[in-house]
A and B are shown apart, each in its own frame.
Chain A
């Protein structure tokens, strides 16, 4: 459920880049497309987790750790990145919650296939 939510947020981020393509920003098309593909991957990940697939758990943990590490780096660097409650919830808490739910021996056993 949380991963599906994340997939929706990636899809919104991808779609948000597309209007800028009309303004002449050609690379934004690539970025928007990459975000939509990432949303698709995240959606597949959610289905894999639902079906208790081992690859989904493994990739899910890796993916979320990457997301949270990148977000923490952005927050640590003084470039004026958004530090509002929504940003913290979406970019830090959400991936951390997914990692927290997927880790542990019980979960490893549940995702044996």
Chain B
């Protein structure tokens, strides 16, 4: 959702190129200067989205010929509408075209024919903006402008389309993450697909060493004495305790000096669940002795608030709740010393049922 798909990058380039070209070309139209600002802006935006659709045809031609034909139809229709801004039925035709294109994209994303990405989302934002501009009534319009109807449809259609787009894209992204996104916001390190015997041995060795080194922290007082402090709310099922000295020192996967410890917050006090190694910088993945078994992960697009050290996820429209900031966290690797049946000892997350069992125990 937050990546630009390699096959769609050409669409982004085409859209950016189309913007100045449309601004220049449309100036030569005789009625351009007489058109209201909103009409001119909508025209340019429709030329941009038309160019994006046309640029995507080539890539989809072999694998999705029907999609290519639809892109061609969309592209030609948008460019034609951009050129026909003085046509009597221009507003009606443009609104219908824009709404059907956004709904068509949502259908494609919803049934899995297309993956949500930044080019798709950006194009939908352009189209929704163009729709708003098409619907805005202008003073001195000829004929019957149906002003109240248009204001009402603007107030309903635009927010509705934005919410529908955001919700569909988000649900699809959460339900069908790509291979390197194990859960929302966590990007896995690229590794070989299947571990070799050597990697199995290295992973087992790392697990044994780390478990032996951190067992002393089962008593949380020892962890406190060593400099670990809760890095978030202790009312949540589990909390990462961080040692800022080890974070700053930049020890790399040192079993005796893990940057963090993870404690389950049971009713009997903190229960040690595992350790966490963390790198110092974003996009700097650590050594990976166990291949796919010990792949690091980086949390991206988190909305973090210093209030209670809490977080939520960035929306598909790249916005955070008021008071939270969008950030990414340097790569990390967990070593769970309690049984984690769903993901194993190096999983990104610990199974919530394990934490619940710890709490009951």
Contact = CB atoms under 8 A, between A and B. Distances in A.
Contacts of B162: 5, 8-9, 12
A91 B319 contact: yes
A84 B312 CA distance: 19
A32 B352 CA distance: 25
Interface stretch (B22-30, B129-137, B286-294): B129-137
B282 A81 contact: no
B322 A79 contact: no
B328 A24 contact: no
A84 B318 contact: yes
Given A12-B317, A16-B315, A25-B312, A84 B322 contact: no
Nearest to B326: A81
A1 to B, nearest CB: 4
Contacts of A99: none
A112 to B, nearest CB: 16
A97 B166 CA distance: 22
A82 B326 contact: yes
Contacts of B303: 16-17
Nearest to B236: A24
B282 A78 contact: yes
Nearest to A39: B322
B152 to A, nearest CB: 13
B300 interface: yes
A31 B320 CA distance: 9
Interface in A92-108: none
Contacts of A10: 319, 322
A79 B321 contact: no
Contacts of B2: 82, 84
Secondary structure dominating the interface of A: helix
Interface residues of A, number: 41
B314 interface: yes
Given A31-B323, A38-B322, A12 B328 contact: no
Contacts of B38: 1
A80 B325 contact: no
B319 A8 contact: no
B324 interface: yes
Interface in B311-339: 311-329
A20 B310 contact: yes
Contact of B312 (A5, A9, A28, A38): A28
B233 A25 contact: yes
B235 interface: yes
B325 A23 contact: no
A98 to B, nearest CB: 12
A1 B154 contact: yes
B143 interface: no
A90 B235 contact: no
Contacts of B182: none
Nearest to B124: A86
A30 interface: yes
A89 interface: yes
21 contacts: A1-B38, A1-B129, A1-B154, A1-B158, A4-B132, A5-B158, A5-B159, A10-B322, A13-B320, A13-B321, A16-B315, A24-B237, A25-B233, A81-B325, A82-B2, A82-B301, A82-B314, A82-B318, A85-B4, A86-B125, A86-B317
Given A8-B158, A27-B307, A86-B316, 7 more contacts: A17-B321, A17-B324, A24-B236, A26-B310, A27-B308, A28-B310, A28-B321
